[in-house]
A and B are shown apart, each in its own frame.
Chain A
Amino acid sequence: MQIPDVKQKWPNPINEVTIGATKEEGGTRSHTITVGGANSLPFLYFEGELPHPPVIALEVWDVAPKDWPEELAKYFSDVWDDAGKWAKKCVDEFGADLVCLRLQGCDPDGENKGSDEAAAAVKKVLESVSAPLIIFGCGSDEKDNEVFPACSQAAAGERCLLGSITEDNYKTLVALCKADRHKLIAESPVDINIAKQVNILATDIGLAPEDIVIYPTTGALGYGIEYVYSIMERGRIAGLSGDKMWAMPILGDIGKEVWKVKEAKALQKEVPEWGDHTQRGPLWEAITATVYLQAGSDILIMRHPKAVAETKKYIESLTG
């Protein structure tokens, strides 16, 4: 009996998005990173082209974190007073493909740093590492709109990935991205339609679809991961099937989610039956990461060096 060929062909490849700009391109990065371009579901190399493997960004803050557990602190506490040194450690020691600078220090409920300080942090990171940069706001719409103009200007021409726009707040960042040649993260609350709607709103005011990375919100393992998984996968299938507003690379912001759940944080002495937390925490993050890779994520933002190493091994094993 002949086995029928069940290979699936998709009509619409995912957009390629390049982050970072070299000297020739008007920036100062040593190399650029391109994601997307796939015309098949993740890792199905026998079905189609997947020119760019998923990449991992390590998270750096513009302020020393107060709530990071010891398991993370032990790797970063020596450098986390200085975003530049922190970024360098991530790239040099832990193999980060990109650095994700989160402007947590600007949080109005926290240190409430101003736009000058934020821009200084951006500059510092750009000077200390040559890897491409993601810049994530603190999450307060008003504050992000206030600090991003200076940050975007400080990184003009570097083709950073800025985040994030939402349905309620997209105009400032879109304008900045257009002016300073950056790329943009479009965030939506685990909803296949709203994800599209944000993209439509942004493209309606002139952003090219090729400048967008979708962030459909992520959850940690055990915290609604299957829900996010199905949204990501459905979105990717929609994009491959021809929906231009879903034909974009996907980002997963994982470290932030994983390192707030008790399964990753709790110490062994608190919950002995859960075992060694120095293994459990990184594993929790690594497994969360692999799930999102399977769902279609192209960029993962992570925290724990061991989890990063495991995830990289996993990617390599699948891309062969």
Chain B
Amino acid sequence: MKKDIAKVTFLPEGETIEVEKGVSLLEASTRAGVYVSSICGGDGICGKCRLIVKKGEVKTRPTTLLAREDIKRGYVLACQSEVVGDVEVEVPPESRIEGKILIDMDAQRFRALYAPMKEQVTFRYEPLVQKIYLELPPATLQDNISDHARLYREIRRHKKIENMQTGLKVIRGLPHILREAGWKVTTTLGVRGATTEVIQVEKGNTKDKNFAIAIDVGTSTVVAHLVNLNTSETIDAEATYNSQRVYGEEVTRRIIYAELKGADKLREVIVEDINNLISILVSRNNIRLNDIMGLVCVGNTAMIHFLLGLDPSRIRKEPYIPVCTYPPPIRAAEVGIKINPRGLLYSIPGIASWVGADITAGILATGIYQVEELCILIDIGTNGEIVIGNKEWMVCCSASAGPAFEGSGVKSGMRAGEGAIERLEITEQGKVRYTTIGGGRPRGICGSGLIDIMAQLFKAGFVDRAGRLRAGIDGRVREQDGEFEFLVVPASQTDGDDIVITQPDIENLLRAKAAIFAAVNILIKSLNIEFSDIKRVHIAGGFGNYLSKENAITLGLIPDIDREKIQFVGNTSILGAKMALLSRQAFDTCYKIAKRITYYDLITYPGYMDEFMSAKFLPHTNGNRFPSVTEMKKVEKGV
């Protein structure tokens, strides 16, 4: 009936859509094809889908996620507001940011996927850089020590610090700042090994402006998290593909480029990526660059070499010697990173040429190094890394998987950001059901979605066990430029082109999963243990905030073991980096971890190629390695 229909207009586009009354604004926006940010997908808990009601009215449920001033200005949460009549709403800039990567913390808060580590890992809160507000007693004839000593004396009243150092520049400015500020100043202290540096002295109390950034410098993806050091909160996150990719997808190619043309270009490119990420984060959150006093970076050894401008050439040549795996804190400005000019750049310690700081951070975040039971950490990235161990020993290896699971080298692949298909189901009739990050129209497929697609195509019988698409089913499988592809979402329902998965995509993904599974398998064999000896499996990677264990097993990416033991832990590199940033104790622990790891080189394992080839099959050439998948396929065949 006519009266049950209402018009919703979205500004500034002016997009209008008719919906039934009672429909939420979020739903209306999806139908209208207007992008509105949403992380919880309409559960009313993330507070991201802010809209401003300009004309007309909506029925809203009360929420604590909007400030009173905002409500007065007409702000509502799209998912908590029902259309009751014709209405005009504006989508404010903060709700329309696209390509924003999901914050791990959000995943943690909203989907409770990581809970476990907390119970194991607790570190004393003591950020690597911190601000202290000081009210110094003014200098008198009786109390006539120097300005510098007066500052130290006051700092020591607040904190037990034995060794301190101060740069000449800060000392030079000291007498003026102290007196102009009426002896009320805020000092920033930074940990520099065994000593503590007075990095900066500011007038008045600026204690609440104390931010730092954690950066995961990945081979394919660079992720930056902005952290409020006072509250330990992750305020925002941003990610970008590593621009060094034009010099080669793989680390080795980039090293070769550096050898031929010099490493400086690669440093400039990565520093520019980082600076861009930082500037997006500060402008989006109204923070001054000057208030960012510290930065912790994590990444594989080659990436850290590039970032610090170290010669990477020996990493790839026998005997594989890196220049430095424990880089000391330096000024970020020295490498060209733009934060406070005196701000410090910390690097998480690495282990060897092919096992980087990302693994140290992963071990820190998962707490493997301090538990009794045997754990495995599988970090699925361009350079996959695997660690097996417990508090007594840890062995790791690396596997060159390629960037497929990061959405690179896959036609419709993308990073885990807004609009990425993150989970998906395919029925035997070829119907596709999917969920996107943010709930909006799909723009591409991220890692978790790719795992789902592969497993579901196999399960539904659209690909054979070698991953070859079978032709002629329901118009979903079609031939394009001589290659088969599976139509996931037609262009009419996306934010652009058809979303497809092509035969070469499938082959890239198969290779990636085979590299990882082969490495896991070899490491387990070499240690003379069985899958069943492992009590906990941590799967890490920048997939977004979801990973289907069942599909990952069906695909043969992870071993077929008790699902209870498996845990998806997200991007542990950045998580570990943030832990180090917030706790000196955690940062120090990184060094202990790095020293304890034994590196196992797969190149020395004669059967690597065999393991790889047998894993390049769905789920595996040896079906008995994946009994539950074999069983499932049998049931479906009616055997």
Contact = CB atoms under 8 A, between A and B. Distances in A.
Interface of A: 167-168, 191-194, 196-197, 200-201, 204-205, 243, 245
Given A192-B610, A201-B466, A245-B621, 7 more contacts: A168-B468, A193-B613, A193-B616, A196-B621, A197-B466, A197-B617, A200-B465
A204 B610 contact: no
Interface in B437-483: 464-466, 468
Contacts of A204: 464-465
B465 A193 contact: no
B614 A167 contact: no
Contacts of B464: 201, 204-205
A236 to B, nearest CB: 16
A191 B617 contact: no
A200 B623 contact: yes
Contacts of A168: 468
B610 A197 contact: no
Interface in B395-431: none
Contacts, number: 31
Contacts of A200: 465, 617, 621, 623
26 contacts: A167-B466, A168-B468, A191-B613, A192-B613, A193-B610, A193-B613, A193-B614, A193-B616, A193-B617, A193-B621, A196-B614, A196-B622, A197-B465, A197-B466, A197-B617, A197-B621, A200-B465, A200-B617, A200-B621, A200-B623, A201-B464, A201-B465, A201-B466, A204-B465, A205-B464, A245-B621
Contacts of A192: 610, 613
Interface size class of B (residues with CB under 8 A): 10 to 19
Contacts of B465: 197, 200-201, 204
Contacts of A243: 622
Q: Which 7 A-B pairs have the closest CB atoms?
A: A193-B613, A193-B614, A193-B621, A196-B621, A197-B617, A167-B466, A197-B621
Contacts of A196: 614, 621-622
B429 to A, nearest CB: 20
Contacts of B610: 192-193
A167 B617 CA distance: 11
Contacts of B621: 193, 196-197, 200, 245
A197 B465 CA distance: 8
Contacts of B617: 193, 197, 200
A245 B617 CA distance: 14
Contacts of B616: 193
Contacts of A201: 464-466
Nearest to A168: B468
Given A167-B466, A201-B465, A194 B613 contact: yes
Interface in B585-639: 610, 613-614, 616-617, 621-623
Nearest to B613: A193
A139 to B, nearest CB: 20
Nearest to B468: A168
Nearest to A194: B613
Nearest to A242: B624
A167 B616 CA distance: 12
Contacts of A191: 613
Nearest to B609: A191
Question: Which of B617, B621, B622 counts the most chain A CB atoms within 10 A?
Answer: B621
A168 B484 CA distance: 13
A170 to B, nearest CB: 9
A193 B614 CA distance: 5
Contacts of A167: 466
A245 B621 CA distance: 9
B598 to A, nearest CB: 29
A63 B623 CA distance: 43
Contacts of A193: 610, 613-614, 616-617, 621
B611 to A, nearest CB: 9
A167 B510 CA distance: 15
A190 to B, nearest CB: 11
Interface in B111-159: none
A94 B468 CA distance: 44
Contacts of B613: 191-194
A241 to B, nearest CB: 12
A193 to B, nearest CB: 4
A49 B253 CA distance: 55
A280 to B, nearest CB: 35
A205 B613 CA distance: 21
A193 B464 CA distance: 16
A142 to B, nearest CB: 12
A243 B614 CA distance: 14
A163 B312 CA distance: 51
A295 B614 CA distance: 22
Nearest to B615: A193
Nearest to A200: B465
B461 to A, nearest CB: 10
Nearest to A191: B613
Nearest to B637: A204
A63 to B, nearest CB: 30
A196 B625 CA distance: 14
B466, B614, B622, B623 interface centre (most CB from chain A within 10 Å): B466
Contacts of A205: 464
Interface in B316-367: none
Contacts of B468: 168
A168 B507 CA distance: 13
A245 B630 CA distance: 14
Among A192, A196, A197, max chain B CB count under 10 A is at A197
A168 B466 CA distance: 9
A201 B623 CA distance: 12
A191 B610 CA distance: 8
Nearest to B617: A197
A105 B466 CA distance: 31
Contacts of A197: 465-466, 617, 621
Nearest to A196: B621
B636 to A, nearest CB: 11
